[in-house]
C-alpha cells in the first residue's frame, strides 16, 4: 500500500523518499541557509568595522568614500578628485601609507602650497 505523502514545501508527491520535503525544496532550504549565514557574517563584519572606527580612532579625511586608492608606478596613490592636477593626493608604499600621506595633504592650506611652489 502506497502512502500519498506530499512535500511540506511545494505539495508535490514524495513517493517513497524519506523526509517531509522534496529534493528541490531541500536544495532551496540549503541555499537559503547558506545565504542567511553569509548575510549574518557580512553584518557581523560591518559591526566590527564600525565599532573599530568609532572606538579605536577618530575619522580621518581618507575615510571619505570619494577617495580612490590606486597603484601608481611602484607606489600607491590615494586620490580625491578626478586626477592629480585638480585633486588632492597622497603617495606611499602601501595603501595605508598613501592614505596617511593623503590625510596630511588634506590639511595643507593654500598659502603653504604657494610657498612650496615658489621653491
Among the residue ranges 4-12, 28-36, 37-45, 89-97, the one whose residues contact Zn ion (CB under 5 A): 4-12
- 22 binds Zn ion, rule: CB under 5 A: yes
- 9 binds Zn ion, rule: CB under 5 A: yes
Unique residue bearing C-alpha cell 517513497: 16
Strands, sheet with 67-72, edge to edge from the N-terminal-most edge strand: 67-72, 75-80, 88-92
CB of 35 to Zn ion, least distance (A): 18
Among 10, 30, 34, 45, binds Zn ion (CB under 5 A): 10
- 23 binds Zn ion, rule: CB under 5 A: no
- 26 binds Zn ion, rule: CB under 5 A: no
Amino acid at each position: 500500500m502506497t502512502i500519498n505523502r506530499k512535500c511540506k514545501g511545494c505539495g508535490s508527491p514524495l513517493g517513497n523518499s524519506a523526509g517531509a520535503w522534496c529534493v528541490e525544496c531541500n536544495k532551496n532550504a540549503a541555499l537559503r541557509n547558506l545565504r542567511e549565514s553569509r548575510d549574518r557574517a557580512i553584518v557581523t563584519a560591518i559591526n566590527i568595522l564600525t565599532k573599530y572606527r568609532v572606538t579605536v580612532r577618530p575619522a580621518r579625511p581618507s575615510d571619505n568614500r570619494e577617495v580612490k586608492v590606486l597603484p601608481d608606478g611602484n607606489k600607491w596613490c590615494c586620490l580625491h578628485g578626478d586626477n592629480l592636477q585638480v585633486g588632492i593626493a597622497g603617495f606611499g608604499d602601501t595603501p595605508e601609507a598613501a592614505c596617511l600621506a593623503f590625510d596630511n595633504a588634506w590639511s595643507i592650506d593654500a598659502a603653504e602650497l604657494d610657498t612650496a611652489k615658489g621653491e
